Amino acid sequence: MKSINDYVSFLSELSNKKVSALGYISAVLNEYKIERIEGTNLDSDGDMLLLQWRQSDEDIEVMITRQVVQDENGTIEFDDCAVQINFVLYFKNDDNVFKAGNTWIDNPTQLKDKVSAIIEINELKPQLHKTPYKVIVNYSNI
């Protein structure tokens, strides 16, 4: 089990590497597969991933959010203990029309099916082999 701070440190170290989007995404998904955030309960959606992609005038953003609820017993209100840790990849927008979207991974057991689907998403395919020009990590309480 990792603390939230340890997970943020992992992401910060990862963000300093220069790899493709697929390399970043694979590293984050693999970490999710093998390592839980301490104090979370998978049975009550206490450790989930959200992959989002969207376009702005200048950028295409691919964001992986790990949403954790540190409540092993399921007795604390979600809004009182939920934390979102964001790992955001930025790519220059080549003036392409880009349809925003997202997909939740509620549990590590879903990874195999979800990863297969993610790499086939038309909007993401062109970005997967590019190296983002900027990567940021942040986290906040919901």
The crossing angle, in degrees rounded to 10, of helices 21-34 and 111-118 is 170
Q: Of 25-29, 39-43, 134-138, which gets the smallest average pLDDT?
A: 39-43
Report d(CA 86, CA 23) in Å as an integer: 16
Q: Is the pLDDT of residue 30 over 90?
A: yes
Between 128 and 97, the higher pLDDT residue:
128
pLDDT (average), residues 107-115? 89
Which tens digit of pLDDT belongs to each residue from 60-102?
999 999 999 887 676 777 667 789 999 999 999 876 677 899 9
How do beta strands 47-55 and 101-105 pair? Answer: antiparallel
Strands across the sheet with 101-105, in order? 101-105, 47-55, 59-69, 82-92, 134-141
- In this prediction, residues 105-121 reach a mean pLDDT of 87
Q: What is the mean pLDDT of residues 27-37?
A: 93
**Length of the chain measured in residues:** 142
- Each residue's pLDDT tens digit, 65-76: 999 988 767 677
**What pLDDT, on the 0 to 100 scale, is given for residue 99?**
83
Q: Pick the most confident of 26-30, 36-40, 41-45.
A: 26-30
**Residue 87, Cβ density class (10 Å: 0-12 exposed, 13-18 middle, ≥19 buried):** buried
A 10 A CB-CB count for 94 gives 8
Q: Look over the chain and give the mean of its residue pLDDT values, rounded to a whole number.
A: 88
- The first and second tokens of residue 62, run together, are 């691919």
